[in-house]
């Protein structure tokens, strides 16, 4: 089957388009490692499940590639990726169908529990999960990002495109709310 070509598009324009696509892809792959980790961590912070977080991160990165041409500025790209990963993770967590699939997968192929899984499965982890779920989405995202290694308040503010003062107040409020629920 012959490839579809818009009328009026010449071989030169096709070639230029292909070259641009290749350059875009190279640039994207250079950022993939850093951004993949970021997306995965955000998703894992919401979902507390590595397998689901991988799915979400993959989806977020594929989506981000579609928008990469418009988001070439690294700070804008990272900010966008954090937001889309967080949103997708929330949607994923809310989806009953996905949860059902996860449960059946868990029943058929029991994975080896990691140290984090064990920690999360204890009483404190359960209560912390409940308290986190009660937080607003904004506070939750700030809390997750500031908990990531190597993310200072300034970096989180840049990621969320917010003033540092706003990040500080949201973080303080979120920690206070968590402590009240866990006390």
Partner 1 sequence: MTCDKYENALLLTAASNGELDAKLARHLERCSTCRMTLRSERELFSRIDSALRAQVNGDLRPGFLTQLRLQLSKKLTARPGSERLWHVAGAALALVLIAMFYPLVDARQASVQGNLQTPTIKVPQSGGVKQSRRASEDIGVRSRHHSKRPAQNAVPQEPEVLVPPDEQKAFAQFVACVAKRDAVAQAFVTPVATKTVDRNTELPQVSSVDIADLQWGRARQKEWIDQTGSSE
- Applying CB under 8 A, which residues contact partner 1? 3-6, 21, 25, 28-29, 32-33, 36-37, 40-42, 44-45, 48, 50, 53-54, 57-58, 61-62, 65, 114-116, 119-120, 124-125, 128, 143-144, 147-149, 172, 175-176, 178-179, 182-183
Nearer to partner 1, 76 or 176 (CB): 176
* Segments in the chain forming alpha helices (H): 11-47, 50-66, 74-94, 96-108, 115-121, 123-134, 137-147, 153-160, 164-182
Closest to 148 in 3D by CA, of 80, 60, 86, 74: 86
User: In which region does residue 48 sit, left (phi positive, over 0), alpha (psi from -120 to 50) or beta (all else)?
Assistant: left
- CB 5, min distance to partner 1, A: 7
- CB 114, min distance to partner 1, A: 8
First to last CA, the chain: 67
Nearer to partner 1, 100 or 179 (CB): 179
Q: Which residue has the tokens 């324009």?
A: 13
- CB 75, min distance to partner 1, A: 21
Please say whether the beta carbons of 50 and 34 come within 8 A. no
Nearer to partner 1, 7 or 107 (CB): 7
Q: How many residues does the chain have?
A: 183
- CB 101, min distance to partner 1, A: 18
Nearer to partner 1, 125 or 158 (CB): 125
Nearer to partner 1, 42 or 80 (CB): 42
- CB 54, min distance to partner 1, A: 6
- CB 144, min distance to partner 1, A: 6
CA distance 61 to 137: 21
Nearer to partner 1, 133 or 179 (CB): 179
Please say whether the beta carbons of 167 and 157 come within 8 A. yes
């Amino acid at each position: 089957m012959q490839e579809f070509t818009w009328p009026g598009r010449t071989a030169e324009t096709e070639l230029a388009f292909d070259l641009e696509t290749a350059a875009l892809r190279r640039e994207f792959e250079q950022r993939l490692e850093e951004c993949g980790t970021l997306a995965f961590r955000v998703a894992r912070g919401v979902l507390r499940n590595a397998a689901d977080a991988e799915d979400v991160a993959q989806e977020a990165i594929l989506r981000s590639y579609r928008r990469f041409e418009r988001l070439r500025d690294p700070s804008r790209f990272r900010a966008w990726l954090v937001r889309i990963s967080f949103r997708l993770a929330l949607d994923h967590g809310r989806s009953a169908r996905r949860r059902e699939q996860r449960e059946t997968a868990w029943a058929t192929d029991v994975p080896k529990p990691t140290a984090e899984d064990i920690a999360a499965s204890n009483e404190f982890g359960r209560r912390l999960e409940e308290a986190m779920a009660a937080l607003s989405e904004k506070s939750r995202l700030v809390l997750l990002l500031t908990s990531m290694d190597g993310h200072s308040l300034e970096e989180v503010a840049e990621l969320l495109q917010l003033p540092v003062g706003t990040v500080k107040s949201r973080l303080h409020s979120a920690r206070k709310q968590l402590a009240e629920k866990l006390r």
